[in-house]
Structure 1
Amino acid sequence: MKEDKKTLYSKIVQDLIENIEKGEMVKGQKLPTEKELMEYYNVSRITAKRALEELKNMGLIYRKKGHGSFLNENASKQEIYKQKFISMILPYENSSGRFIDYIKGASDYLYSKGYFLSVNCTDGDEFKEKEYITKMSSAGAKGIIYYPAKNMNNFDILYLLYTKKYPIVTIDKYFDSLPISYAVSDNFGGGYELCKYLIELCHKKIAFISSIDISSASSVRERFLGYVKALKDSNINIDDNVVINGYLKHENYDLIKICKKLYDCGVTAIICENDFIALDILKSLNVQGINVPNDISLAGFDNVPVLQQMDIELTTIEQDFYEIGKKAAELVIEYIEREGGIQKKAVIPVKLIKRKSIKNILKG
């Protein structure tokens, strides 16, 4: 998915601010020209010019006609911390999947409110997460939008911020025992709708596969519980043998063997934790000559655009990542403007995307 101008403009602004914070730029230093920014970030002249104008309005640079843009004598960490910015902390940097839509949704809303978005990626490292949460909350960020890699990571620092009434909102996951606001997808509804759809197509032995422990992330747990509820509502017994819970925790796991075991015990459909796991499962099935959907049906969760070019068009649940990012930003700003408030829960609807990886087993 192509990034829009607002997102790219924010990226340029953010990168310069990070360079100032790290001391990589000195006062009076000349900045890259509009043309150089265009080439480096692959943006239009309008976007490059807009980023430089915003930096000028923030008092961080000055522009001399015919000479270029220069770092202001007053540009410093202290000057940056006066600015109205919200920090978004993400586990990974991904320009073609859900993360860019989180950024776009939050950035668009914050821009309309006179804030800009600072994005930090932790590479899934819980220690980096803690460092960024601590740094951003004490370095001038007016609030934080936080995507936890796991549910229980950094509970201590989050609880401390909660007691200080610092504006923080989680996305994708929530903390059961920590009353901070969150914006998440209707994971339970998605798991339920996906399993119910398979049941309507006459599937009864439906497997659920998760790479991580189901209890370790509220998002995965809710999907699983939706799957369980759909089976119960249709009077289908839950078979623990076809629930693969956290295969990554086993050092010598073998997806090919896992898939063969499921197929041999009569599983006719597999629901995966997400689309990426579905892709791995598809590869493991293909290696054994097990065809999707003729031999077994397969479904994912997320509707990640980059995976729409799979060998088989994947049935999945579409999450509205843009709306989640936007809603999280709304909750942060609302908390700031009200100077506190109670926990708010935003559950964003999902959509079943029916494609060719699932078939009605009675029709053949």
Structure 2
Amino acid sequence: MKYLEIYEDIKKQILRRVLAPNAMVPSEKALTIKYHVSRITAKRALNELVHDGLIYRIQGRGSFVQEHGNLTNQQLLLVLPFSGKQELGNYVAGIQEVLKDTTWKIFSITNAEFFKLSIEQLKATYAGAIYYPQNLNKEMPYLFNLYLSKFPLVLLDKTPPNSIIPSVISDNVYGGFLATKHLLENNYKKIAFFGETNFMQDFSGSTADRFAGYIKAIRKYQVNHFDPINLYLKLKNTPYDQIGSFIKSNKIDAILSENDVTAFRILTLLQKSNISIPQEVALMGFDNLPLTQITSPQLSSISQDFNELGANAVNLLLRQINDPNLLFNKQVVINVKLIKRKSTEKK
């Protein structure tokens, strides 16, 4: 859409410092001439820039670039639990697309490395951080201290209840629902949810949301011939070397795994137990990581848009950097998609 082109062009000029803080932004009339658009389209682009904290208006004078909280520090931080890309999606591509041709730089460190830095060190080195939590119960006191210090922060993948810190997540509840619906529509009767994450204590995080979506589908489609919660707990507490026999004895014909990595582990175990996929047991993952396409059979999965997640996270971060006094707890939820492959194809 044309207004988005105008929005992105001006945003890039602001982030590249071509348009300095408090500099005047081209007027609606100037934008209509430059981009060959209507006054309404130009106004909408400017409204979006105001909404995202990039510019401000003075009645009777025009629009101006918002004062940046930190004009010298151009380094942003991405904090992920693992240094490799196999365990998590590639958020970096979406972040780099937003920052392309700007003076901003993104650096990635692990959660362990992050917690070795004092708040003073973080503020001296970085303008803000995108943070992927591992254990929110333990991490929240430190994150709240960062918030109190006005250090710009965005959470990725998880949103704690009543959080005042902005976050970007995938629609994990709908993903769990969509995966279970797909299995039911393919006439699988006894679908077990499998996860290694201990989410039952506080029922928070992406695995808890995916499990909630699974339960929602079980209720929606009136599956009442087994207890899904009891089945999940029993399967979770079964030693790995006994999972194959547990699945056989309980006549489980489909498994929805919390993510692709655990789905791959289950696939390996089932094949060692001479359980064929999907002839005897269907298997579904979550995240649509590259490994789903190199397994045999290839794994069906729920696809997260990691580019969109990364792009939205860095936009929320820049919005805080542009306006250090901004108080907002915006949560952005990104759509997911069902990816059908051989592991759930009914023979």
**Pair in the same fold by TM > 0.5:** yes
**Cα offset, 1:335, TM superposition:** 1.5
CA RMSD of aligned residues (A): 2.4
Q: Does the CA-based 8 Å contact 1:268-1:297 persist in structure 2?
A: yes
User: What amino acid maps onto 2:241 in structure 1?
Assistant: I
Matches within 5 A, 1:246-265: 247=236, 254-265=239-250
1:120 alignment partner, one of 109, 125, 128: 109
Correspondence for 2:182 among 168, 188, 197: 197
- Flag the 1:113–1:155 CA change in 2: closer, same or farther, 3 A: same
Q: How far apart, CA to CA, are the structure 1 residues paired with 2:338 and 2:240?
A: 26
Match of 2:153 among 168, 176, 199: 168
Deviations 1:304-341 (A, max 9, x none): 11341111111101111111111100000111223213
Q: In 2, Cα distance between the equivalents of 1:143 and 1:90?
A: 14
- Alignment of 1:218 with 2:201, yes or no, is no
Instruction: Provide Cα deviations, 1:18-75, integer angstroms capped at 9, x if missing partner.
Output: xxxxxxxxxxxxxxxxxxxxxxxxxxxxxxxxxxxxxxxxxxxxxxxxxxxxxxxxxx
Give deviations 1:257-315, integer Å, cap 9, x for gaps: 12321331121100001111011101111111111100111000011113411111111
Q: Indicate if the aligned counterparts of 2:95 and 2:314 stay in contact, CA closer than 8 A.
A: yes
Residue 116 of structure 2: SS of its match in structure 1? Answer: helix
Is the aligned partner of 1:358 residue 2:347?
no
Cα-to-partner distance string for 1:152-185 (whole Å, 9 max, x where unaligned): 2321111112233321001111222432111111
Stretches of structure 2 that go unaligned for 5 or more consecutive residues are 1-70
Relative to structure 1, is the Cα distance of residues 355 and 336 closer, same or farther in structure 2, using a 3 angstrom cutoff? same
In 2, the alpha carbon distance for the partners of 1:301 and 1:109 equals: 26
Counterpart of 1:293? 278
Letter in 2 for 1:86: L
Query: Partners in 1 of 2:183 and 2:217 — Cα distance?
Result: 10
Deviation of the 1:342 alpha carbon: 1.0
- The DSSP-based 3-state class of the residue aligned with 1:236 is coil
> Structure 1 pair 144/349, CA: closer, same or farther in 2 (3 Å)?
same
Report the AA paired with residue 84 of structure 1: Q
Deviations, residues 181-230 of structure 1 (Å, cap 9, x unaligned)? 11111111110000011111122311001111124651101000000000
Instruction: Report the secondary structure of 2:129's partner residue.
Output: strand
Given the alignment of the two structures, is residue 335 of structure 1 paired with residue 325 of structure 2, yes or no?
Answer: no
Equivalent residue of 1:92, what SS? Answer: coil
- 1:208 touches 1:244 (CA, 8 Å); kept in 2? no
Whether the 8 Å CA contact 1:213–1:246 is kept in 2: the answer is: no
Distance (whole Å) between structure 2 residues aligned to residue 220 and residue 307 of structure 1: 18
Distance 1:173 1:86 in 2: 20
Which residue does 1:233 correspond to in 2? 220
1:151 and 1:174 in contact (8 A); partners too: no
Find the residue that maps to 1:357 and give its secondary structure: helix
Secondary structure at the aligned position of 2:115 is classed as helix
> 1 CA distance for matches of 2:232 and 2:315?
37
Q: Is the contact between residue 215 and residue 228 of structure 2 (CA under 8 Å) also seen in structure 1?
A: no
Secondary structure of the structure 2 residue equivalent to 1:88? strand
Amino acid paired to 1:298: L
Q: Aligned pair in 2 of structure 1 residues 259, 214: CA closer, same or farther (>3 Å)?
A: farther
Number of residue pairs matched by the alignment: 273
Contact 2:286 2:303 in 1 (8 A): yes
Q: What CA distance in whole angstroms lies between the structure 2 residues aligned with 1:192 and 1:348?
A: 15
Quote the residue 2:97 is aligned against: 108
Q: Would you say the 8 A contact 1:159–1:178 is kept in 2?
A: no
TM (norm. structure 1) is: 0.69
- Aligned residue among 87, 93, 117 for 2:83: 93
Aligned with 1:214: secondary structure?
A: coil
Choose the corresponding residue for 1:305, options 277, 290, 311. Answer: 290
Q: TM-score, normalised by structure 2?
A: 0.73
8 Å CA contact retained: 2:292, 2:301? no
CA distance in 1, matches of 2:235, 2:144: 27
Q: Give runs of aligned pairs for residues 13-28 of structure 1, distance below 5 A.
A: none
Aligned counterparts of 1:177 and 1:246: Cα–Cα separation in 2? 32
Quickly say closer, same or farther: Cα 1:334–1:191, change in 2 above 3 A.
same
Identity %: 30
Structure 2 residue corresponding to 1:152, chosen from 134, 137, 142: 137
Distance 1:322 1:98, change over 3 A: farther
**Structure 1 residues 158 and 133: CA distance shift in structure 2, 3 A:** farther
* Distance change (3 Å), C-alpha of 1:156 and 1:246: farther
State the alpha-carbon separation in 1 of the partners of residues 206 and 158 from structure 2.
6
Higher relative contact order (CA 8 A, sep 6+): 2
Query: Unaligned stretches of 5+ in structure 1?
Result: 1-80
